[in-house]
Chain A
Amino acid sequence: MKKRLFVKGNEAVAMGAIEAGCRYYFGYPITPQNDIPEYMSREMPRVGGCFIQAESEVAAINMVLGAGAAGGRVMTSSSGPGISLKAEGISFMAGSEVPAVIVNIQRPGPGLGGIDVSQADYFQAVKGAGHGGYHLVVLAPHSVQELYDLTMLAFDLADRYRMPALVLGDAMLGQMKEALMPHPYQAPEDLPRKDWAVTGKHGRAKGNAVKSLYLGDGELEAHNWHLHAKYARLRENEVRYEATGLDDAELILTAFGGGARIVKTAIAMARREGLKVGLIRPVTVYPFPAEIYRKATERTPKVLCVELNNGQMVEDVRLSSAPGADVRFYGRPGGTGSLPNPEEIFEQICKHYKD
Chain B
Amino acid sequence: MASNVQTVFQRPSALKEVPTHYCAGCHHGTVHRLVAEAIDQLGAQQQTIGIGSVGCSVLLYDYFDIDVVEAPHGRAPAVATGVKHVHPDSVVFTYQGDGDLAAIGTAEIIHAANRGELITVIFLNNTTYGMTGGQMAPTTLPGQVTTTSPYGRDVTTEGHPIRMAELLAMLGGTGFSARVAVDTPKRAIEAGRTILKAFEMQKKKQGFAFVEVLGACPTNWGMSAIDANARVEKEMMDFFPLGVYKDVTADGESNVFKTV
Where the two chains meet, the residues of A that have a C-beta atom closer than 8 Å to any C-beta of B are 24, 26, 50, 52, 54-56, 58-60, 62-72, 74, 88-89, 92, 96, 198-203, 207-213
- A54 near B71: Cβ-Cβ < 8 Å: no
| A208: B residues at CB distance < 8 A | 67-68
- B67 near A66: Cβ-Cβ < 8 Å: no
User: How distant is the Cα of A210 from the Cα of B69 in the complex, in angstroms?
Assistant: 5
| B68: A residues at CB distance < 8 A | 198, 207-211
Known: A63-B78, A207-B64. A70 touches B70 (CB 8 A): no
- Nearest-Cβ distance from residue B257 to partner chain A, whole angstroms: 15
User: When the two chains form the complex, which single residue of A68, A88, A211 contacts B82, counting CB atoms closer than 8 Å?
Assistant: A68
User: When the two chains form the complex, which single residue of B71, B82, B90 contacts A24, counting CB atoms closer than 8 Å?
Assistant: B82
- Determine which residue in B69, B82, B115 has the highest number of CB atoms from chain A within 10 A of its CB, and name it: B82
- B69 near A65: Cβ-Cβ < 8 Å: yes
- A62 near B70: Cβ-Cβ < 8 Å: no
User: How distant is the Cα of A242 from the Cα of B71 in the complex, in angstroms?
Assistant: 39
| B83: A residues at CB distance < 8 A | 66-67, 69-70, 198
- B82 near A67: Cβ-Cβ < 8 Å: yes
- Nearest-Cβ distance from residue A212 to partner chain B, whole angstroms: 6
- A66 near B46: Cβ-Cβ < 8 Å: no
Q: Is the interface of A mostly helix, strand, loop or mixed?
A: mixed
User: When the two chains form the complex, which single residue of A62, A69, A203 contacts B72, counting CB atoms closer than 8 Å?
Assistant: A62
The 24 listed contacts between A and B (C-beta, < 8 Å) are A24-B82, A54-B111, A55-B111, A58-B107, A59-B75, A59-B81, A62-B79, A62-B108, A63-B81, A65-B78, A66-B86, A69-B83, A70-B86, A72-B85, A89-B72, A92-B71, A92-B72, A200-B48, A201-B46, A202-B46, A207-B67, A211-B52, A212-B70, A213-B59
Known: A201-B66, A202-B46, A211-B61. A66 touches B90 (CB 8 A): no
Known: A24-B85, A68-B82. A200 touches B107 (CB 8 A): no
B58 at the interface (CB under 8 A from A): yes
| A200: B residues at CB distance < 8 A | 46-49, 66-67, 87, 90-91
- A67 near B70: Cβ-Cβ < 8 Å: no
| B64: A residues at CB distance < 8 A | 207
| A213: B residues at CB distance < 8 A | 58-59, 70
User: How distant is the Cα of A255 from the Cα of B108 in the complex, in angstroms?
Assistant: 40
In the complex, what residue of chain A is closest to B66 when comparing beta carbons? A207
User: How distant is the Cα of A210 from the Cα of B81 in the complex, in angstroms?
Assistant: 16
B80 at the interface (CB under 8 A from A): yes
- B79 near A66: Cβ-Cβ < 8 Å: yes
- B69 near A66: Cβ-Cβ < 8 Å: yes
B65 at the interface (CB under 8 A from A): yes
User: How distant is the Cα of A56 from the Cα of B70 in the complex, in angstroms?
Assistant: 20
- Determine which residue in B64, B68, B79, B111 has the highest number of CB atoms from chain A within 10 A of its CB, and name it: B79
| B108: A residues at CB distance < 8 A | 55, 58-59, 62
Q: Mark B155-195, 1 if CB is under 8 A from A, else 0.
A: 00000000000000000000000000000000000000000
In the complex, what residue of chain A is closest to B78 when comparing beta carbons? A62
User: How distant is the Cα of A96 from the Cα of B58 in the complex, in angstroms?
Assistant: 14
Q: Name B60-111 residues within 8 Å CB distance of A.
A: 61, 64-72, 75, 78-87, 90-91, 107-108, 110-111
- Nearest-Cβ distance from residue A173 to partner chain B, whole angstroms: 28
- A54 near B78: Cβ-Cβ < 8 Å: yes
In the complex, what residue of chain B is closest to A68 when comparing beta carbons? B82
- Nearest-Cβ distance from residue A26 to partner chain B, whole angstroms: 7
| A96: B residues at CB distance < 8 A | 69-70
User: How distant is the Cα of A207 from the Cα of B71 in the complex, in angstroms?
Assistant: 16
- Nearest-Cβ distance from residue B205 to partner chain A, whole angstroms: 16
In the complex, what residue of chain A is closest to B54 when comparing beta carbons? A213
Q: Name B115-161 residues within 8 Å CB distance of A.
A: 115
User: When the two chains form the complex, which single residue of A62, A67, A201, A212 contacts B86, counting CB atoms closer than 8 Å?
Assistant: A67
User: How distant is the Cα of A65 from the Cα of B52 in the complex, in angstroms?
Assistant: 13
- Nearest-Cβ distance from residue A130 to partner chain B, whole angstroms: 10
User: How distant is the Cα of A209 from the Cα of B47 in the complex, in angstroms?
Assistant: 14
B206 at the interface (CB under 8 A from A): no
| B67: A residues at CB distance < 8 A | 198-201, 207-209
Q: Mark B32-62, 1 if CB is under 8 A from A, else 0.
A: 0000000000000111110110000011010
User: When the two chains form the complex, which single residue of A55, A58, A70, A209 contacts B87, counting CB atoms closer than 8 Å?
Assistant: A70
Known: A65-B69, A69-B69, A200-B87. A58 touches B79 (CB 8 A): no
- Nearest-Cβ distance from residue B71 to partner chain A, whole angstroms: 7
User: How distant is the Cα of A72 from the Cα of B90 in the complex, in angstroms?
Assistant: 14
- Nearest-Cβ distance from residue B41 to partner chain A, whole angstroms: 17
- Nearest-Cβ distance from residue B48 to partner chain A, whole angstroms: 6
User: How distant is the Cα of A198 from the Cα of B100 in the complex, in angstroms?
Assistant: 22
| B86: A residues at CB distance < 8 A | 24, 66-67, 70-72, 74
User: When the two chains form the complex, which single residue of B61, B79, B80, B107 contacts A207, counting CB atoms closer than 8 Å?
Assistant: B61
User: How distant is the Cα of A73 from the Cα of B163 in the complex, in angstroms?
Assistant: 37
- A198 near B69: Cβ-Cβ < 8 Å: yes
User: How distant is the Cα of A96 from the Cα of B69 in the complex, in angstroms?
Assistant: 9
User: How distant is the Cα of A209 from the Cα of B71 in the complex, in angstroms?
Assistant: 11
- Nearest-Cβ distance from residue B254 to partner chain A, whole angstroms: 24
| A70: B residues at CB distance < 8 A | 49, 69, 82-83, 86-87
In the complex, what residue of chain B is closest to A130 when comparing beta carbons? B72
User: How distant is the Cα of A69 from the Cα of B61 in the complex, in angstroms?
Assistant: 14
| B115: A residues at CB distance < 8 A | 52
In the complex, what residue of chain B is closest to A93 when comparing beta carbons? B72
- Nearest-Cβ distance from residue A6 to partner chain B, whole angstroms: 33
| B65: A residues at CB distance < 8 A | 201, 207
In the complex, what residue of chain A is closest to B84 when comparing beta carbons? A66
User: How distant is the Cα of A92 from the Cα of B73 in the complex, in angstroms?
Assistant: 10
- Nearest-Cβ distance from residue B260 to partner chain A, whole angstroms: 9
User: How distant is the Cα of A213 from the Cα of B21 in the complex, in angstroms?
Assistant: 15
